[in-house]
Structures are given as structure tokens and as C-alpha cells.
Amino acid sequence: MNDRRACDRCLKRTWLLARLSGHLDQARGRAEEVLELADTELLAALAGPRRGAVAAEYERVQPRAIRHRVGAAGLEPICRCDPGYPQRLLALSSPPSVLHVGGGLERLLEIVSGEPVAIVGARRASGYGLEVAGSLGRGLGSAGVAVVSGMAIGIDSAAHAGALDAAAHTVAVLPGGAEQPYPPGKRSLYNRIRGAGAVVSELPPGTAVRRWMFPARNRIIAGLSAATVVVEARERSGALLAAARAVELGRAVGAVPGRVTSPLATGPHRLLTRGATIVRGPQDVLDLLFGCGVRTAPAQTRPALADDLERVLRKISDGHDTIAALARAGLPADQALTALSALELAGYVRREAGGRYMVVP
Amino acid sequence: MLARVCTFTIDGVDPRQVWAEVDIRSGLPSFTIVGLGDAAVRESRDRVRAAIQNSHFEFPQMRITANLAPAFLKKVGPGFDAALALGVLAASGQAPADALNRYAVFGELSLSGALRDSPGALAVAEGARQAGFPRLIVPRERAREAAIVEGVEVVGVSSLQAAADVVKGSEVPPLPAPEPDTSVPLPEPDLIDVRGHAAPLLALQIAAAGGHNLLLDGAPGTGKTMLARRLPSILPAMSRSEAIEVTRIHSVAGIHANGLIRARPFRAPHHTISPSGLVGGGSPPRPGEATLASHGVLFLDELSEFQRSSLDALRQPLEDGAVTIVRAQRALRFPTSFILIAATNPCPCGFAGVDDRCGCGEAELRRHRRKLSGPLLDRMDLLVSVQRPTEDELREPPAIGSAQARDRVAEARERQRERLAGTAASCNGEMDAREVRRHVRLDPAAEQALGDAYMAGVLSVRGRHRVMRVARTIADLERCDRVARGHVLTALALRQRTGSETALAA
């Protein structure tokens, strides 16, 4: 099944990372520096008083057994010594020793050899953020650009789902073992991604998720992608780590603006003040990747609107986004209901929690 | 000597005829009651003996056997006392047995011989009329209630002595004068108090006009409860038969005693209610809130806080308009035809959709939604969000008063009654799928809009029928014979979003 695309040494390192997972968690503030260490240094730095025993275990580990376990979990490994290993990842200070791939190694390599874009953001996102992430995924997907993200709830999942809706490729980088979904509730999304793209992890199958793995995972997301777009992020969001990594690698960074009063907009706005590119839709990302106007996002096919509906749509964009608010803007409730329904059917607006209507980008 | 007296037991909320047969013969003095009675019936012996003696009659020192027939029917409660006592009097020659055949008798006795207030007199009066008894003896407190039923002369007496006198031929005492209503009438909640809330007002009228169940969704303090409480005020007045049924149910439940109930019931049980409290149960089975809300409104505030089992128990009542309770090999049927109106927060913290105050995560939202989703939401025809009115709206004049809305609703209901004559449904909300197909005529543009929505995947088959029912009601409110595109679009905007139709949150 795997024709030796992962060498013994690299496989042994994945074993070591999994073995020292608990110790790495203690040092999670500096996880990325620690990951740069070689195996023996890792042992020395982390294993503490049990380092002798762990070192002996490490010596005894059979790469063949590891390889077997990976294969049995339905994953394909590729290590950083393989010439096919994603070139962009090698630019990281600590490229993952092995990528464990579900859904097809060749497909993953083909996807990441193109110009994939990372879309990352908050887990507790707003309806606006989810909508924008979904439409970025759809728009980029239909322009032939793959989406890389972390399959977390919120923005990540919305971006994956958008790409899948456009029948495009998408790659999910998981924190723990790639043979099962994380978070576990995302099983159906996980299966769709495995079916139409790839799921990837740095850690061997069966590794339980720990906190240090999230920043580590974010570096892989940024590393695999030609550009990183942050949709919504609070003050100390992991999405900002991915953006910081992308900056270090000299990759393009984009951010979607939000409302200045919203804590979810803090992250993107900070990135924007520091020179990130403003992302208002898929076209901005395409311009960022390929230069202005080189590639265009296929226009969405929506029926043209009658004048009165156009006016209502404009009112909604202006913030009169509930039936009550439209009534205040001079549209009686019965007419508002009819118009909102017509707009919703035509795909221009969507009803959100609490009866707010949102303009679909 | 043998005598028999007709009386009634309450089976659920329905009367069942029972014969109290009393046989007296010589032997060792004893008094036995047979015929599947409960503890209250067994204790009846002692009450009857004391009541007869204290009413200056003679309690026969002979062998007395009383039987409550039919024997298979479980007899519950103290309501047979008066019938048993009159039976004993008749069997011992102290009252005319043949005259007693014209009477049905109902009531509990006290040891002094007084007839005590006993709930359920209206149901008993209906039973007496059906069984063809010209006269019914009930406790005096219940006389007015029993007299609601026409065709039976109600004899309201306050003691066994008085009851025996009437049987012997003395004049029937006049009905007691209605109790002067001393309570200051509370102002009925009226739509005239509502400012803003344009969409919810419309939804309330649609719900009232078509008998549709309505879910109000909105942040805390926006006025969901205030709106829900005003739904009864725009429902058309109850017909006499509806009023009698409501009075009977409330009388059986022991929460009403004085005359005919005219106002539609509004029941708002607290969310800690148990399944049997909601749909009826216990031993003996008593009507639950769903039955007490019959012909009126059942309001479930904070829907997501109710136990899952309680909400699930509402499925059958919502589906069939009745609930069947099975206890000890007996099935009881309680009527439950009400409009369900429920209120809920859009998310656990309540602030989803209000700026960015909502701090609920996707998992919490999903849990909240799952709690709500499912079969109950599937029966809710309408969903409307309630938003906080603005300062300006609070100063505006009211949009519509209850009286005006009630007229509109009554007119729409009249249209439905004509259209649905000869079917089981009495309003659009009760139409089944076949009736929807037959009675909801869409014009081509409306057909197109509905087709678009169905194609877009926002509607299930059942959801499609829901939208058609609601659209039919909206057209009825606007006095249109055919359902136009605008009606369908409005119904779509007010549709319940269940399952894949993303219920309440993003």
C-alpha cells in the first residue's frame, strides 16, 4: 500500500512526538521551537527523569510496525526526505517529519502543488463570518483554487463546506491522528473532505488531541498554502498564529474586515493595519494570488431582481436587516415578508438566528 | 325489596351511566357495596349510614347489598353517595321507588346528610339527558352548572332530606341565583396595548384565523409572552357546544363551578411540568393542560426548557386532536384541540441575532436546536422572530385592536367553514394532506414560487404542505379565493425551519 515514501528515521520521529505528547503539552508555549529540535535533543529536553527509559523504547521501536499501523488506519505517509514532499512545507523552520494523509496521497500532492489558500478563523463565529467563509470557499473553489483549513467548528468548517459545495478540492489539517475526525462531531464533513480532497496530520494514527497540537497544526496550514486569509478572529485566536507564520514565510496574508465594535473583528483588523490585504470576496484573494484581474471568480448565477426587490436588498445591506427594521425604513410588514421570501428564494439573502436577514455575498 | 337509582361516573371527561341497585332482605344487619369501587366508594357505606340517620330517616337493620352496575366499569370517587342513600330509602319504603325512576342522582354526602359540592356536574347532566332522564338531582352549588344542559330539569338540593322530599312530590326548589360577580374584572389583554411588532401581529392573526401553531423566537424581554397572551383575544367566540365542552372539562377537573365558560381557555403551564401533567394521566386519570386548553390556547414559554419527554408527549394530541391514556386495561380519550403557541430564545444565552452579544458556541447552538427540533417543531406551522420595538414605535398609535382583528379572523374562519364543510377539518390548520391538495388552489405564479422553494431544497414535502395551509389562511384573511404568489411568499417567510432547513440558528 505504501511504497516506502516515508523513511525509518522520520517514522520513528512521529512515534517520539506521540510518545512525548504529554511533555510537549507542558512546553506548549514554545511548542514550535521545541519541534525544531532533533530527536535526541527532544528526548533530552522533554523526557525529564524518564529520559533513559524513553530513549530505550525509542531504540526498540520498529519502523515496520509504525508503517503497518499507518497503513491499517487507512492513511498514507510521506516524509520530508521524499522528493515529492510538499515544497512549501520545507520552508517551515520545523517541517513535519511525516504527513499522514487520508483520502489519497497523490491527490494531496497535486492539490498543494497548485496555489491553495488557507481560510482560517474563529470557532465561535458570527453568522456574517460563516457566510463570508462559505462564500470564499465556494468562490475560490469554483475558480479552481483549493482551500486549506483545520476543520474546526465555525469558520474552518464553513470554508471547507463552501469549497465542497463548489465541487472543489479542500484539505483539512487535523491536530491529532488523521484517521478520525476532530472535533468528533464533524464526521460527515470529515467524510466529505476525505472523499473529495484530503485530510492530513503530522501525528501518527491513534494520537489523542492535546493543546500543543493546535499551534503546531496552524503552522502546517500556513505552510501548505500560497496565501492565508483570516475571516474572524478574537484577540488571541489561533488563526492569528497561522497568519503570523504565513508572514514569516513571506506568503500573502489577507483579512476580511468586520464591524469595528465586534470582538470578532479585532484579529482581522489588526492584520489589516499591519499591511494584510483586504479581502471582500473571492476576487480579492484571486488578485492577491495571481495579480490583479488575471483570474476572475466565476460570477454567481442568480436571477436578476425587479426594482422593488433591489430597493429592499439595498435596505437590508444598509442594516435594516429585520422585518421590524424594514418597517421602520418604510416597508410594511406584509410587503417585507413577501420581499424577503422572494430574495431568499433567489439566493440573495439568508435568514439568520433571531430573525435577522443577511445579504449573501 | 329491591330499588335502583341512576347515577353517573366520570370516565376521563365523559359521563358513564351507573345503576346503584340496593337490595334489602332479612338477615344479620350488614351493608355491603359491590361493583368495582375504589376506596372512596367503600367508605361510602359509613357516610350513607350516618347521613340517613342524621336526616331523620331510619337506617334498616337488615342485610343490605348495594351493587354499582355495570360491574366492569371502575367507579371512582364519592359521587355515588346520594344515589346509594336514596336507593336504601326506596328499598326500605321510605321513598317512592317508582317516582325515583324518573331521576338521575349525583352527589357526595356528608355525615350530617348535607349534599356536598361535587365536581363534574355538567358532564353528569349531559349523561342524564342522553339517557333520557327528565330530572337530575345535584348538589345545590352545582345546579347552575348542570342547568346549562337543556332538556333536563335540574333539582339543586342541599341535603338528602330535601332530595327525598322532591322525589316524594314536593315542589322543585328554584335554581339558586347566580353568584354576583364581586371580583373586579381584569382587563382582558388586548392587541391595542401592542406597539411595533408588525410581523408578530400578522403571525398572530394568521395563527388565529387558520388554527395554526405558532413559535415565537426572540431575545429575552422583547415581548414574546406579552404577544402570546393576546392570542385568545382575537379568536372568535366559542360556539355553545364548544363552550359546553370546555365547561365540562374544567368542571371535571374541579377548577370551575359557576355557569358556562365563555372565554376561550388560555393555559400556560410552567416548563417543569411532567408528561402526565401536560397530556393527562395519574390514577384515576385526570385531564392534563393540553385537554384544559381545548378550544383555546396552550402556551409553552421557554420551550427549550421543557423536558424532552413532556414535549414528545404532545405529539399525539397535536396530531389527532385527542389523547388516549391507557390505565389498567382501560383506554380513556381526552379531547385536545388547541392552538399551540410556544416561545423560545434563539440560542441558550438568548441574544443570537442581537448585535454580537451572543456568546454561544456552535456546539451550544446545535444542542439548543436539537432540543427544539424534531416532531414538535414539525407541527408548528409558523415561526416569527420578535424584536425589541424602538423608542419611536413605542410612541406610535397601536396598529390594530383585538376587536378589529377578531372580526377579520371570524370572517376568515367563516370562509374556511364553507370551504371545508363535509370534511373532518374545521379550519385550515386541521387540513390533512389530501384536503390540502383538494382545497388549496394556487394560481400559476404562486405555484411557481412554491416550486422554486421546493427545488431550492428549503422545503420538505411536509413543509410544503405546511406552507400551503398557511398560504390558504393568508388568502382567507385577504378575502381571496385563489392563493396568489404574495400569499405563498409570506407563508414561506413565516415558515418553520426544521432539520436541514436550518432551524433557529446559523
Residues A282 and A311 occupy one common structural domain: no
State how far the alpha carbon of A361 is from the alpha carbons of A128, A284, A358, B506, in Å.
10, 13, 9, 16
> What letters, b where the CB count within 10 A reaches 16 and e where it falls short, cover B449-478?
bbebbeeeebbeeebbbbbbbbbbbbbbbe
Q: Is B366 on the interface with A (CB under 8 A)?
A: yes
The radius of gyration of chain B from alpha carbons, rounded to an integer in Å, stands at 27
Q: Which of A331, A324, A334 is nearest to A357 (CA)?
A: A324
Between CA B82 and CA B84 the distance in angstroms is 5
User: What is the band of B356 on the pLDDT scale with cuts at 50, 70, 90?
Assistant: low
Q: Tell me: pLDDT of B23 over 90.
A: yes
Instruction: Reduce the DSSP state of residue A134 to 3 states and report it.
Output: helix
List the domain boundaries for chain B. Answer: 2-168, 191-405
B93 in the Ramachandran plot: left (φ > 0), alpha (ψ -120 to 50) or beta? Answer: left
B429 and B413 Cβ atoms separated by less than 8 Å: no
The DSSP H or E segment spanning B52 is helix B39-54
| Intervals of chain A under pLDDT 50 | 1-2
Q: Same domain for A118 and A188?
A: yes
Put simply, whether A165 touches B (Cβ < 8 Å) is: no
Give the E-state strand segments of chain A in sequence order.
76-79, 98-102, 117-120, 147-149, 170-173, 198-201, 227-230, 252-255, 277-278, 349-351, 357-359
DSSP letters spanning B77-139: SSTTHHHHHHHHHHHTTSS-HHHHTTEEE--EE-TTSBEEP-TTHHHHHHHHHHHT-SEEEEE
Same domain, A163 and A92: yes
In a domain, A38, yes or no: no
- Residue A273 within any structural domain of the chain: yes
pLDDT digits 0-9 by tens, B263-308: 889 999 999 999 989 988 877 788 899 999 999 999 999 888 888 8
- Please check whether residue A34 lies inside any domain of the structure: no
Interface of A with B in 116-145 (CB under 8 A): 123-127, 130-131
Residues A257 and A129 in one domain: yes
Q: In chain A, what residues touch B355 (CB-CB under 8 Å)?
A: 261
CB contact under 8 A, A259 and B389: no
What is the assigned CATH class of domain B191-405?
alpha beta
**pLDDT value of residue B362:** 67
Let me know whether A87 and A210 are in one domain: yes
Task: Tell me how many domains chain A contains.
Answer: 2
Indicate whether A220 and A142 sit together in one domain: yes
**Residue B232 per-residue DSSP state:** G
- Same domain, yes or no, for A103 and A213? yes
CB of A261 less than 8 A from some CB of B: yes
Contacts of A322 in chain B (CB under 8 A): 353, 385, 387
For residues A235 and A105, membership in a common domain is answered with yes
- The verdict on residue A174 lying in a domain is yes
Cβ contacts of B348 on chain A, cutoff 8 Å: none
Domain membership flag for residue A271:
yes
Whether A261 sits inside 8 A of B355 (CB atoms) is yes
- Those residues whose C-beta lies under 8 Å from the C-beta of residue A1, and which sit 6 or more positions away, are A71, A76
Each residue's pLDDT tens digit, B191-224: 888 888 888 999 999 999 999 999 998 888 888 9
Pick from B248, B293, B286, B245: nearest CA to B269: B293
CB pairs under 8 A between A and B: 122
Q: What is the mean pLDDT of chain B?
A: 85
Question: Residue A168 maps to which CATH number?
Answer: 3.40.50.450
Interface of B with A in 208-227 (CB under 8 A): 217-219
Residue range B452-501, pLDDT digits in tens = 888 777 777 888 888 999 999 999 999 998 999 999 999 998 887 754 33
Chain A hits for B484, CB-CB cut-off 8 Å, are none
**Which residue among A290, A324, A348 closes a domain?**
A290
pLDDT in tens, A141-181: 999 999 999 999 989 999 999 999 889 999 999 999 999 99
Please indicate whether residue B480 or residue B379 has the higher confidence score (pLDDT).
Answer: B480
Contact of A153 with chain B, judged by CB distance below 8 Å, is answered with yes
% of chain B beyond a pLDDT of 90? 37
B173 CB burial (10 A radius; 0-12, 13-18, 19+): middle
The reply to whether B347 touches chain A by the CB within 8 Å rule is: yes
pLDDT tens string B430-461:
888 888 888 888 999 999 888 888 877 777 78
Q: What is the pLDDT of residue B503?
A: 32
- B387/A323 CB distance under 8 A: yes
Same domain? A132 vs A267: yes
Contact B60, B26 (CB under 8 A): no
Q: What is the dihedral of CA A80, A83, A84, A86, to 10 degrees?
A: 50
Residue type, A151: M
Say whether both A246 and A343 belong to one domain: no
| CB A246, CB A252: distance < 8 Å | yes
Cβ pair B356:A185 closer than 8 A? no
pLDDT score for A2? 45
Distance between CA A179 and CA A161 in Å, rounded?
19
Chain A contact probe: residue of B388, B474, B490 with most A CBs at under 10 A: B490
Handedness of CA B24, B27, B30, B33 (dihedral sign): negative
Amino acid at residue number B330: R
Do residues A206 and A73 lie in contact, with contact meaning Cβ atoms separated by under 8 Å?
yes
What angle in degrees, to the nearest 10, is found between the helix axes of A8-19 and A39-46? 10
Assess if residue A99 is contained within a domain. yes
What are φ and ψ of residue B384, in 5° steps?
-140, 140
Name the pLDDT band for B183 (thresholds 50, 70, 90): low
How far lies B250's CA from each of B119, B145, B152, B246, B447, in Å?
Answer: 9, 11, 21, 6, 45
Domains B2-168 and B191-405 equal at CATH topology level: no
Instruction: Tell me if residue A306 falls in helix, strand or coil.
Output: coil
Least confident residue range of A55-59, B248-252, B285-289, B346-350: B346-350
* Structural domain of A343: 307-359
A246 and A161 in one domain?
yes
Task: Summarize the confidence of residues B225-252 as an average pLDDT.
Answer: 88
pLDDT score recorded for residue B457? 72
| pLDDT classification of B411: cutoffs 50, 70, 90 | very high
CATH 3.30.230.10 fits B2-168, yes or no: yes
Lowest mean pLDDT among A346-350, B109-113, B121-125, B410-414: A346-350
pLDDT at A294: 83
- A164 plus A285 within the same structural domain: yes
Task: Assess whether the previous peptide bond of A49 is cis (omega < 30° from 0).
Answer: no
- Assess A195–B contact: CB distance below 8 Å, yes or no: no
A324 at B interface, C-beta within 8 A: yes
Q: What are phi and psi of B481, to 5 degrees?
A: -80, -35
